[in-house]
């Protein structure tokens, strides 16, 4: 299949590009588009067959449900059974924006969207291109991240091209994504709201609006074979570059020394190493490829650069990537969740 690629030049009107994309979605095709979190791969969310093609293009396991993206609240009423008070409070504070809420679903939502669950995940993105595309399609748009399953999520059009060119109908290139990690997911269908995936809307921000929330154990630790995360997708290894990722924890100087000793050992074995660090330590490493994610105390910036950095180790062909760890406050919880998953929750103590 030939993938139509259209670049948005924000200086000139881009209505025609969005109408072309909306037409493809209405006919059951697949369109990748930018959102404020990462690029999404969109299909008509009420067309079960179209949604099945998302799983095929991504190589995504069929039990990993999709998020439905809406452009106004009328579309929400079309797909959910009820809107609990706490959901309303979160919607008022954080929609449109990078927050996904789990609702009880109405029967019109196809099983291929929900993986057979009786709930549906819904988000109202704030990105103007995403919003106008969904409105033009006139239907909720099912859109997981537009990467091959298991790879780091795409935060630039070039990442989508690398994974999905030739497998999807269209890609809208709207530049980089601000937040850089996928949406925060909250389940409000139970007694106590529960965080299923951390993201740009932080636990602190959620608790300020609706009080204490639970954090699903899959967010912070590796689950045993018998355990099931509440968000089915959280059980899969994710976000990996081709190289193995190893996290190194400890006091700053000890971490630098430990990683440098691994780099030296690898060199003797003919292996190349990469390091993911922050601005204050980036110059201290002897690796073949050293990247800074930004200022250590600017966790928002670190989140925004994370997936691009993970992907760029593939271009450099390194055999193993060592990463420093970051504080798990604010956006740091999302950063460490994605890093832990990239490393399969393995780490070394310096």
Decide: helix, strand or coil at residue 170: strand
Site for Mg ion, residues 144 to 173, rule: CB under 5 A: 145
Least distance CB 122 / ligand AMP (angstroms) = 9
Binding mask 152-191 for ligand AMP (x = CB under 6 A): ------------------------------x--x------
| Size of the chain, expressed as the number of residues it contains | 350
In whole angstroms, the minimum distance from the beta carbon of 65 to ligand AMP comes to 3
Residue 246 CB, shortest distance to ligand AMP, in Å, is 24
- Give the span between the Cα atoms of 83 and 285, in whole angstroms: 51
Angle at 130 (CA atoms; ends 124, 132), nearest 5 degrees: 100
In the complex, the smallest distance separating the C-beta of residue 168 from ligand AMP, rounded to whole angstroms, is 15
Identify the helix (H) or strand (E) that includes residue 184.
strand 184-187
Q: Are residues 303 and 201 in contact, defined by beta-carbon separation less than 8 angstroms?
A: no
| 126 binds Mg ion per the rule CB under 5 A | no
Of the residues 17, 195, 218, 231, which one makes contact with ligand AMP according to CB under 6 A: 231
**SS3 per-residue string spanning 99-137:** EEEEEEECCCCCHHHHCCCCEEEEECCCCHHHHHHHHHH
Residue 65 is a binding residue for ligand AMP (CB under 6 A): yes
- The one of ligand AMP, Mg ion, none whose footprint includes residue 155, by CB under 5 to 8 A per kind, is none
Angle between helices 128-137 and 15-26 (to 10 degrees): 50
**Residue 234: which of Mg ion, ligand AMP, none does it interact with, CB under 5 to 8 A by kind?**
ligand AMP
Q: Which is nearer to ligand AMP, 44 or 288 (CB)?
A: 44
| Residue number with the smallest Cβ distance to Mg ion | 145
Quick check: 145 binds ligand AMP (CB under 6 A)?
yes
Residue pointed to by tokens 């091959």: 148
The least CB distance from residue 153 to ligand AMP, in Å, is 7
* Of 181, 173, 163, the residue nearest 57 (C-alpha): 163
Residue 232 C-beta: closest distance to ligand AMP, Å:
4
Quick one: DSSP state of residue 70? -
Applying CB under 5 A, which residues contact Mg ion?
145
């Amino acid at each position: 299949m030939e993938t139509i690629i259209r670049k948005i030049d924000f200086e000139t009107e881009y209505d025609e590009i969005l109408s072309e994309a909306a037409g493809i979605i209405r006919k059951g095709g697949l369109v990748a588009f930018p959102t404020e979190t990462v690029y999404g791969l969109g299909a008509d969310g009420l067309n079960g067959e179209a949604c099945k093609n998302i799983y095929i293009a991504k190589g995504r396991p069929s039990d990993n449900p999709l998020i439905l993206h809406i452009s106004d609240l009328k579309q929400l009423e079309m797909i959910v059974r009820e809107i609990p008070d706490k959901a309303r409070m979160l919607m008022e504070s954080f929609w449109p924006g990078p927050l996904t809420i789990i609702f009880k679903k109405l029967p019109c939502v196809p099983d291929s969207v929900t993986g057979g669950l009786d709930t549906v995940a819904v988000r109202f993105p704030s990105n103007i291109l995403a919003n106008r595309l969904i409105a033009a399609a006139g239907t909720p748009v099912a859109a997981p991240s537009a990467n091959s399953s298991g790879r780091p999520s795409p935060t630039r059009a070039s990442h989508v091209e690398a994974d999905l060119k030739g497998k999807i109908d269209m890609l809208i290139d709207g530049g980089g994504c601000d937040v850089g990690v996928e949406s925060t997911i909250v389940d409000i269908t139970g007694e106590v709201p529960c965080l299923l995936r951390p993201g740009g809307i932080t636990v602190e921000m959620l608790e300020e609006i609706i009080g204490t929330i639970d954090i699903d154990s899959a967010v912070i630790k590796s689950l045993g074979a018998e355990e099931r995360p509440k968000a089915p997708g959280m059980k899969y290894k994710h976000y990996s570059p081709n190289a193995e990722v190893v996290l190194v924890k400890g006091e700053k100087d000890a971490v630098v020394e430990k990683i440098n000793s691994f780099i030296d050992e690898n060199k003797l074995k003919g292996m190349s190493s990469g390091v993911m660090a922050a601005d204050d330590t980036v110059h201290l490493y002897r690796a073949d490829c050293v990247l800074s994610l930004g200022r250590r105390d600017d966790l928002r910036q670190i989140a925004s650069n994370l997936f691009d950095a993970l992907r760029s180790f593939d271009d450099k062909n390194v055999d193993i990537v060592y990463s420093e760890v970051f504080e798990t406050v604010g956006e740091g919880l999302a950063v460490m969740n994605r890093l832990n998953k990239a490393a399969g929750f393995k780490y070394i103590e310096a």
